[in-house]
Structure 1
Amino acid sequence: MAWALLGVAGVLEIVFAFAMKSSEGFTRLVPALFTVAAGLSSVVLLSLSLRTLPMGTGYAVWTGIGAAGTAIVGMVVLGDSAAPMRLLCIALILAGVIGLKLVTTS
């Protein structure tokens, strides 16, 4: 259950970043509200998952999902660069997230 909560928290971290970009510096109300809601929800779910998971693992996975996912959304939705080295770096982040999942016994 903790891993599922952590996964949802990571996805909400991606929503948080995208909504923040869409809020244009918190000048647009609806995206700004999504930013706050997604950010708070993400942190709450992270904290719930940390009841069971080791802190370092949980936080690293949460930030990894958020960082890699946000970069991918930026490429797919916002037209950010999809240069081969960027893709390699994202793959390395995801490999680290998967590795942490595989070696954590909780």
Structure 2
Amino acid sequence: MNAFDDIKAVMDDLNNRRSVLAGQMREFQQLQGEIQALVERASHDPQARAKLEKLNQAFPEGIQNSQQAIMSKVTLLEENFKQLQEGFKTMGDSDKKNEEALPKPKRKQYKNYM
């Protein structure tokens, strides 16, 4: 396996991790929507109020702070993924150019005396 294959394998792994992160973000956004629905129903629905109270107990400093922290970390991760991917692409391109620039080995030809 050469360096180009190694870089490709790392990029594939990064893309898989990015896909997993995207799925988790969709789930997180869905949960945010469910929380918003609970907030809207809390004035007339005792079950919604009870769920919000449990949520407040789980996050005594407030869920907004946690949400903002998570979103800032996700943004940072996305930027890091992009930088890594660009770096690996650049390395892969330079590796290809180096392989193309190398002289081809000369083949010895044997004379046929028969």
Question: TM-score interval w.r.t. the shorter chain?
Answer: 0.3 to 0.5
Query: TM-score, length-normalised on structure 2?
Result: 0.32
Query: TM-score, length-normalised on structure 1?
Result: 0.34
Higher normalized contact order (CA 8 Å, seq sep 6+, divided by chain length)? 2
